[in-house]
Amino acid sequence: MALSPGWRAVRSSGFLLFPWGTGSLLDPKMKAFLEENTEVTSSGTLTPEIQLRLLTPRCKFWWERADLWPLRDPYWAIYWPGGQALSRYLLDNPDVVRGRSVLDIGSGCGATAIAAKMSGALRILANDIDPIAGMAITLNCELNQLNPFPILIKNILDLEQDKWDLVVLGDMFYDEDLADSLLQWLKNCFETHRTQVLIGDPGRPQFSGHSIQHQLHKVAEYSLPEPTRQDNNGLTTSTVWQFQP
Ligand SMILES: C[S@@+](CC[C@H](N)C(=O)[O-])C[C@H]1O[C@@H](n2cnc3c(N)ncnc32)[C@H](O)[C@@H]1O
């Protein structure tokens, strides 16, 4: 496959997993650990058509002492309400992604990138700082019978900006410093490339109280399913916003 200059820049500056070939790059021990400590599920979320390996009440570590978990916090084992809304929106509105290039920042379990792929995105990059998220995304692509897409394990906010038609961020505004850095990065992205930016968020204080609020246009709002409400301390809705600086 011929790579555009943008892709070569990403490859040379980041750690890219190319998981084509049914998970051949997955470390077998880590794969076994992930399979043993997650459950395949598609229920209780806004996107029942996407199957994911998640940490559920039927998994040992749901109940186990947190300090016994041998890896960094498994954000990738949760399908966050912001990502759920964004994925639902992409599945219901395939025109938003069809034939376009899509970057999913903070992809976690990869559900939003998977939704983009299911809706016909031409080119996808899933990005996360956690290498285990990269493995989980690869397994989740397999679960949904999709050819895995490239995954960049790196803080993309430190890299030169590539041109994307659409950047999506599910539940990424959970920390004030991260929110500030994201806002700056997204502004540059919009100003340089006129990139469309969609953000999914369930009304977290770090998002609702941030100055980004003055630059948003509401696109869709979803009522969260009961299991997601229970896992998220009373959050009841999740909203998709378009960033318009
Ligand atoms: C709350 S989770 C959201 C995951 C997914 N988007 C969803 O909605 O289910 C946030 C994710 O962002 C990742 N993350 C945090 N800072 C990041 C950064 N600077 N660049 C890329 N990923 C980051 C974390 O590792 C985590 O997987």
Mean pLDDT of the chain: 89
Predicted pLDDT at 5: 30
Per-residue confidence (pLDDT) for residue 14, from 0 to 100: 43
Domains of the chain: 5-243 (3.40.50.150)
At 177, give phi and psi (nearest 5°): -65, -40
- The finding on whether 110 has its CB within 6 A of some atom of ligand 1 is no
Q: Which of 43, 74, 79 is nearest to 61 (CA)?
A: 74
| Model pLDDT, residue 235 | 95
Question: Is the CB of residue 76 below 6 angstroms from any atom belonging to ligand 1?
Answer: yes
Give every residue of the chain whose pLDDT is below 70, as ranges.
Answer: 1-25
Ligand 1 contacts CB of residue 156 (under 6 A): yes
Tell me, using a 6 A CB cutoff, whether residue 170 lines ligand 1. Answer: yes
The preferred substitution site among 129, 173, 182 for testing ligand 1, maximizing ligand atoms within 8 Å of CB, is: 129
Edge-to-edge strand list for the sheet holding 101-105: 15-17, 151-153, 123-128, 101-105, 166-170, 196-201, 237-243, 216-223
Give just the sign of the alpha carbon dihedral 177, 179, 180, 186.
positive
Q: What is the pLDDT of residues 233-245, one digit of tens each?
A: 889 999 999 999 9
Phi, psi at 150, each rounded to 5°: -60, 145
pLDDT of residue 7: 30
Q: What is the pLDDT of residues 196-242, one digit of tens each?
A: 999 999 999 999 999 999 999 999 999 999 999 999 988 999 999 99
Grouping H, G, I as helix, E, B as strand and the rest as coil, residue 56 is coil
pLDDT at residue number 53: 97
31-64 burial, b at 16+ Cβ within 10 Å, e below that, comes to eeebeebbeebeebbbbeebbbbbbbeebebeee
How high is the pLDDT of residue 12? Answer: 34
Q: Is 239 helix (H, G, I), strand (E, B) or coil?
A: strand
